[in-house]
Amino acid sequence: MRVKLVQRFRSPSARLSCQHTALYDIKRRPSSLKSSDGFRGMAGSTQRGASTLVLALFIVVVLVTATVGLIFGHKIGYQQGFHSMQNETQQALINSTEASKELDKLRLSNKIAMTQAATSKQELAISLANIKELRENQKELLVENSQLAQLNEAYAEIVSDNGGMPLQVLGAKIKPLPENAFEYGFDIGMLSSDGKAKRLTPTLTLLNDNSLVEVPLDPASYTIEGINRIRGRFTMPAGFKPLQVKLNLQAGGQTVEQLYDWSLGASVDSMPLSLLDLPEVDESPIEP
């Protein structure tokens, strides 16, 4: 800094005084300058300290906010995870209970199936035993039938040699059936002297006081060589009440006519309700 001195007309004492004052100002002004620079430095230091403090506070606030956010986030996540895990645990328990029930059902079904299998095995063993017994009985019956056939052939030869057996009725029956139907049965015997089979033609007729009805037979003729069985069924004409049954037989030049009272067609106990419930025609021999 330059100080410009202006010379004026003054008195010597005033000049000295001015000079002294000027010199004092010159000496003092540097110190004042120094003081101003120091204040500015202190002000700058204060501003820098305040900025640093604000920055530190901001960082602290950010850290605190982040920490609080993390804590709340952790807490919320923990709660959600806990509830989710609790729900999954409950669902797992429900699934486990249902699985246990299904397992119990499967065990029960398996037990029932094993019982049924054991029962089926027993029934199969019984059935196999019965089949074996039936086969043995059938084998015995075949042997007996063969023996009887041989015996019948022997008897037939003896009878034929002695003139044969004349045509005759060995047994007769007529029984009522449902729906105004009847079943007839006749056992016929004949053996010619030449030992050959003959053609048999039967005729069945229903008689009352005023009229007669011929029953159609199916088949209409038979081959007889020993014993033959005539079986069949017929439906009684509406309003017709027979009193007698006439059976006419023709075979090998022989004719036989036999009359029976209608008592042969007497009612039978425990008769089925329909013809459809009836078994096939009985082929067993007629008992006298």
Q: What is the pLDDT of residues 8-56, one digit of tens each?
A: 444 444 444 444 444 444 445 544 444 445 545 555 566 666 778 888 8
pLDDT, position 26: 45
Q: What is the pLDDT of residues 152-161, one digit of tens each?
A: 888 888 888 8
Averaged pLDDT of the chain: 80
Confidence check: pLDDT of 5 > 70: no
Confidence check: pLDDT of 169 > 90: yes
Q: What is the pLDDT of residues 220-248, one digit of tens each?
A: 999 998 889 999 999 888 888 899 999 99
Q: What is the pLDDT of residues 175-191, one digit of tens each?
A: 888 888 899 999 999 98
pLDDT, position 44: 59
270: left (phi over 0), alpha (psi -120 to 50) or beta: left
Q: How confident is the model at residue 273 (pLDDT cuts 50, 70, 90)?
A: low
Q: How confident is the model at residue 265 (pLDDT cuts 50, 70, 90)?
A: low
Cα separation, 265 vs 261, in Å, equals: 9
Q: State the sign of the Cα–Cα–Cα–Cα dihedral 110, 114, 115, 117.
A: positive
The two three-digit tokens of residue 242, written as one number: 């027979």
Q: What is the pLDDT of residues 51-76, one digit of tens each?
A: 788 888 888 888 888 888 788 777 78
Tell me what the mean pLDDT of segment 203-214 comes to: 92
Tell me what the mean pLDDT of segment 119-134 comes to: 93
Against a cut of 0.75, is the pTM above it?
no
pLDDT, position 96: 84
For 156, residues 6+ apart whose C-beta sits below 8 A from its C-beta are 191, 195, 225, 226
Q: How confident is the model at residue 215 (pLDDT cuts 50, 70, 90)?
A: very high
61 to 54, 56, 66, 67: CA distances (angstroms)? 10, 8, 8, 10
Cβ atoms 125, 133 nearer than 8 A: no
